[in-house]
A = this chain, B = another copy of it.
Amino acid sequence: MTTYNPGPRIAQVGGISLSTPDLEKSLGFFRDLLGMEVVFQTEEVAYLRGYMELGHHSLVLRRSEEAIVDSYSLRVQRPEDVELFYHQLQAQDIDVIELPAGQERGRGEAIRFLWPGAGHPLELFYHLDKPEAPEEIRSKLPSNSSKRRGLGVRRIDHLNLQCAPGDMNQAEGWLRENLGFKRREFIRIPENNLVVASWMSVTPQVHDIALVANPFEKSAQLHHVAFNLENFSDLLTAADVLKDHDVQFDIGPGKHGIGQALYLYVRDPGSGHRVELYAGGYLVFDPDWEAIEWTPATVRDGLTWFGDPLEMGPDNSMAPTTNSAPLRPRVVQPV
């Protein structure tokens, strides 16, 4: 057998940490309507996961006056990859903070840095506890942590982040070259050759992270975090129920040509963060996948293949919702 020592790799999107001015309302949305499990909760913070997630959490909700994104977490492939990435980042003179195990409850040691070019606070970690759900909601299927509840959110799906158009090229390239993300689909302006949106992944998903040039010229803003549902019917049921609960709809339901998934963009009533409910889509297994290119002239079908249309450009209903936090993190773990 050939032996080898590959470099550090990203395995998956690990989670997101959102602050919310109204934690109770946010819990009413994520826990009661979407059906996520609250694994741990204090007065100040709650840790949640979907019913198909065995790890401790993929969503942290933290009480705060300001709705902000505290961090985007990426999980690495091997325990040693946290330290290997730390050295890689330092070698590039990137400011990196070490976060002790438990800084997010259930999570091991992590590192935090601002995504060069994009400014979003990324946290890399490997270890995540796998707590069993309480018996009354525990699933009989070992691949589910709990029984399906509410609208059936299974797991976090992907992140859609924004950066200033002028930073797009550097930020997108950095993620691909340094964290191993691959471009799956993208939008390019033929006139100036600029990429204005890029769907990238480390997994066969069409995107684990999308980066989109923000027409408002702001950087480091969240466009949305997506959670995964089993299928199209679940998404239509979610639309039905969320509409009846007066949850704010931005766009949807509709089907993206890019990724071929059904979408529904709504707002967490507690924080205003935009959440995409997401179902279906295709997987990239081909090792010679060539990134699919769209242009402004063709991308209408890419953004919306059918359904409530998603428009490009400075459409207020789809403006990025909230700022990302600076490098110095807020403490989410109760002491």
B-binding residues in A (CB < 8 A): 1-8, 11-12, 52, 54-55, 75-78, 84, 88, 126-128, 139-144, 147-148, 152, 154, 177-178, 185, 203-204, 206, 230-234, 236-237, 239-241, 243-246, 249, 252-255, 257, 259-260, 262, 264, 280, 282-283, 285-288, 292, 301, 305-309
14 A-B pairs in the complex with CB atoms less than 8 angstroms apart: A4-B7, A77-B287, A78-B287, A127-B288, A139-B244, A143-B282, A143-B292, A148-B240, A231-B280, A232-B236, A252-B306, A253-B307, A254-B308, A307-B308
Residues of B within 8 A of A288 (CB): 126-128
* A234 B236 Cβ-Cβ under 8 A: no
Please give me the residue from chain B that is nearest to A206 by CB atom.
Answer: B143
Q: Determine how many copies of this chain the complex contains.
A: 4
Closest 3 CB pairs of A and B: A233-B233, A2-B7, A12-B285
Please give me the residue from chain B that is nearest to A55 by CB atom.
Answer: B286
Task: Tell me, in angstroms, the Cα distance from A10 to B12 when the chains sit together.
Answer: 20
Residues of B within 8 A of A148 (CB): 237, 240-241, 244
Residues of B within 8 A of A127 (CB): 288
Please give me the residue from chain B that is nearest to A92 by CB atom.
Answer: B1
